[in-house]
Structure 1
Amino acid sequence: MAMPSSTAGRKTRMRKAQRLLAENEPGPVIVTRPDGASPFFLTCDHAGRRIPSVLGDLGVSEKERQRHIAWDIGSAAVAHHLSALLDACLVEQVYSRLVIDCNRDPSVPSSIPVLSECTTIPGNVGLSEFERARRVREIFEPYQARTRAELDRRQSAGRETILVAIHSFTPIFEGDQRPWHVGVLYHRDERLAHALMDLFQREGNLIIGDNEPYQVSDEMDYGIPVHGEKRGLVHVELELRQDLIANDEGQRAWAERLARLLPQARARL
């Protein structure tokens, strides 16, 4: 029996009211050059700082939302330039990590932070299971699903795939100066990371972080352990210091450097 139109309409309105993303808001994932010829496959987990309108500003000022706590400053621009130079597929996530961090398993507390560095995130305090679940369902899961789908498609076509995750880090953290120009991160598979670190050293003017300022782990990361290690893909995670990629000149310079060195590192494997 067909549902009465009034009941169906009411249920439709309820579903819309319960959604995190409004109909006029963008989806969480953008894919650039899905059919790019390069073996390199780029991801950018923290590309944007959007917050769904239903969440307001999460109780965080605009000045704070411009900081690293909300996104990886400069990473998306570098990734786009690199994608163009290599003709590489790029998958990026456009909502702020303050809404949900797409490089964390949703089961860990830092997935939806109530405190980021020294900043409290009032809109994340005391979330219900429903509120947490819809952030997972509408942002985290679509981003990971599209990443999986693109990797599956390449695998089905018999294409070589090398995963490169693009991130950025602050030059100062909790008062401590960070000297590295670039951090090269890895966990169980160090092949590409070590080849790339050697090439960075040969540049002669770079301070390279060997698993600095962060280390990849199953607890604190998602992209490399799940999309890289579990698939057996050659991979590396790159952290670029934000003051070096704060403008277009720096973003292009680092993209050009990576476009030159990544193929050389691949050739060494």
Structure 2
Amino acid sequence: MSQDKRKVLITCEHGGNDVPPEFNAAFDGAEEALASHRGYDIGALDLFKAFAQSSSADASFSSTTSRLLVELNRSRHHPKLFSEFTHPLPEEEKRKIVTHYYAPYREQVEEQINDWIQGGFHVLHLSVHSFTPVLDGDKRKADIGLLYNPSREREQLFASKWRQEISRLNSDYKVRYNYPYKGTSDGFVTLLRRKHAAEEYAGLELEVNQKFAMGNAEEWKNLQTVLVSSFEKSL
């Protein structure tokens, strides 16, 4: 992929745990859930900003709406689009959530990608996420996850190169492919792959262990620096 014909897009779907005031009643007593990894991707917004402010980013979009209001990284008809707090709401209220908080975010990302592709550019899309260190009693065995579709060569090659660059800068980080989730699972990137040919669009999801964001500030900053620097060197 020639650099002069490539555009780099950075997104963050779970940057915060904001709930619009009009839906506060649905979250009465849900403060603990909202503050946890269930409410948002802890540390993801910090990491997103580091990528978005780097010289490699051509455009960036983020949302701080809680995933417990609506799951921006799920397809429109996914059974977990709404959480246990919003699923019981009347259909009219759920349509309002989709109209005002789900669709606008995804549409602006899709419009940017479409504009670039129509302009003759290739798009490299990085979706920034984080994962809880322990889920349902199981300790996650990775520091960094690079998610991609193995059947799309550009994604596979970029993930491989990025992993090498991360290890070159700091070999202590444990980097795994398609972990703790499969790169082909339902998500925004997966949808975009279906809409665009492999030569037009390559999408990767970055998953970072939340133990860094919740731990030592200097180690967290160092990890961000390594990830951004290694990403730039991989382009």
Cα deviation, 1:92-146, whole Å, max 9, x if unaligned, reads: 01210000000001211111022xxxxxxxx324232212211111111100111
Output the CA distance in 2 between the equivalents of 1:249 and 1:90.
25
Among candidates 53, 61, 74, match of residue 91 of structure 1: 61
**Maintained 8 Å contact 2:146/2:159:** yes
1:258 counterpart residue number: 227
Given the two structures, how large is their TM-score scaled by the length of structure 1? Answer: 0.74
Among candidates 46, 63, 66, match of residue 77 of structure 1: 46
**Maintained 8 Å contact 1:166/1:238:** yes
1:209 counterpart residue number: 176
1:227 maps onto 2:192 in alignment: yes
- Give SS of 1:111's match: coil
Cα RMSD, aligned residues only: 2.2
Output the CA distance in 1 between the equivalents of 2:230 and 2:93.
43
- Give SS of 1:43's match: strand
* Structure 1 residue 152 displacement after superposition: 2.4
- Give SS of 1:183's match: strand
- Give SS of 1:85's match: coil
Between the two proteins, what is the percent identity of the paired residues? 22
Structure 2 matches for 1:1-269, cutoff 5 A?
Answer: 39-56=7-24, 58-88=27-57, 89-114=59-84, 123-187=85-149, 188-189=151-152, 190-202=156-168, 203-217=170-184, 220-221=186-187, 223-231=188-196, 232=198, 233-246=201-214, 249-266=218-235
Output the CA distance in 2 between the equivalents of 1:132 and 1:215.
28
* Structure 1 residue 83 displacement after superposition: 1.5
Output the CA distance in 2 between the equivalents of 1:234 and 1:64.
33
Output the CA distance in 1 between the equivalents of 2:227 and 2:28.
37
* Structure 1 residue 251 displacement after superposition: 4.5
* Structure 1 residue 230 displacement after superposition: 2.7
* Structure 1 residue 87 displacement after superposition: 4.9
Higher Rg of the two aligned structures? 1
Output the CA distance in 2 between the equivalents of 1:209 and 1:229.
24
What is the identity, as a one-letter code, of the residue corresponding to 1:191? Answer: L
Aligned residues: 220
- Give SS of 2:204's match: strand
Output the CA distance in 2 between the equivalents of 1:264 and 1:125.
43
2:3 counterpart residue number: none
